[in-house]
Amino acid sequence: MANWHIGVIGGSGLYDPGALEDAQEIAVNSAFGDPSGPVVTGKIGGVQFSFIARHGDGHRLSPSHVNYRANIDALKRCGVTDLLAISAIGSLKEEYEPGHFVVVDQLIDRTVGRERSFFGNGVVAHVPLADPVCPRMATMAAKASDKAGATVHENGIYVAIEGPQFSTRAESFMFRDWGATVIGMTAMPEARLAREAELPYALVGMVTDYDCWREPDGDVDVADIMKLMSTNAENARAMLAEFAAALPKVRKASPIDTVLDTAIVTPREKWDIAATTRLDAVAGRVIDLFAKAKD
């Protein structure tokens, strides 16, 4: 059992410096390159939160250029216990209207060319990912969204596309046929990497548009999305306050906390020294266990 420390990945507008107690901006170095920007850490309702703006200051990074590994490694180095991702999404379902919140529980990965793992070069691990979202975190996020006054839908199926372009109409129809209910560009490999870092992960999507399947609405309009995002950000900040207020006083252990115990397949004596050094935060718990066992 331990105290909660919630990592939040989203836009810089999600944290109001006036609402974040004891706020500090920390530049965190990562073994996996430069994160999107500094970590802003402080307290909401007495609970420690650490934020990182996924696309950097001024939204300067496209989804394909976000260093997802560095962002999660940096938050892990700050001591976060759980991750809450917040992002804009398109709706692939009529009843998921712009302005609504969707708490995702499944993901379809259509991204290409992104670094998908912390492991593989000197230390190999295969983490289970059948259920990529932590049900405890997702349930708490859904309840907090409802208390904050948002219209919230649970059990969303998110298809992650590479971008930065939006999907074609044929693709939008195809994703609906697959059973996807929302679409975005950032949940993968974010959720994969969170699992490898033993961080329970949940995603709250804020619907901004209907993608392009809903004829005769036409194509996605960025101007319309930006108008809605400011309102959604206000609702997201209210959700975070409700989320903090409802957290149990003590954090009970999650099975995800120790997922690497059975995931690393490279024998300890074969671990590459450079790879082990890079993993000092992501897999630090396991590295320490092996070191103690050796002693």
Q: Residue 233 has what pLDDT? A: 80
Which among 86, 54, 72, 286 is positioned nearest to 197, based on CA atoms? 72
The residues carrying an active-site annotation are: 209, 211
Residue 85, token pair as written in the block: 């991702």
Q: Residue 295 has what pLDDT? A: 47
Q: Residue 11 has what pLDDT? A: 73
Phi, psi dihedral angles at 68 (to 5 degrees): -60, -40
Q: Which residues contact 262 (CB under 8 A, 6 or more apart)?
A: none
Neighbours of 77 (CB within 10 A): 20
Distances 180 to 113, 119, 280 between C-alpha atoms, Å: 22, 29, 36
Interval 35-80: pLDDT, tens: 999 999 999 999 999 999 999 988 899 999 999 999 999 999 999 9
* Alpha-carbon dihedral sign for residues 82, 207, 184, 235: negative
Which among 31, 42, 32, 34 is positioned nearest to 8, based on CA atoms? 42
Flag residues of the chain having pLDDT under 70.
Answer: 1, 12-13, 15-18, 217-218, 220-221, 289-295
Distance in Å from the first CA to the final CA of the chain: 26
Number of separate helices (H) and strands (E) present in the chain: 7, 9
Separation CA 69–CA 91 (nearest Å): 27
User: Taking the complete model, does pTM exceed 0.85, yes or no?
Assistant: yes
Query: For residue 35, is the peptide bond before it cis, meaning its omega torsion is within 30 degrees of 0?
Result: no
Q: Please give the single-letter amino acid code of residue 73.
A: D
Domains with residue ranges and CATH for the chain: 85-294 (3.40.50.1580)
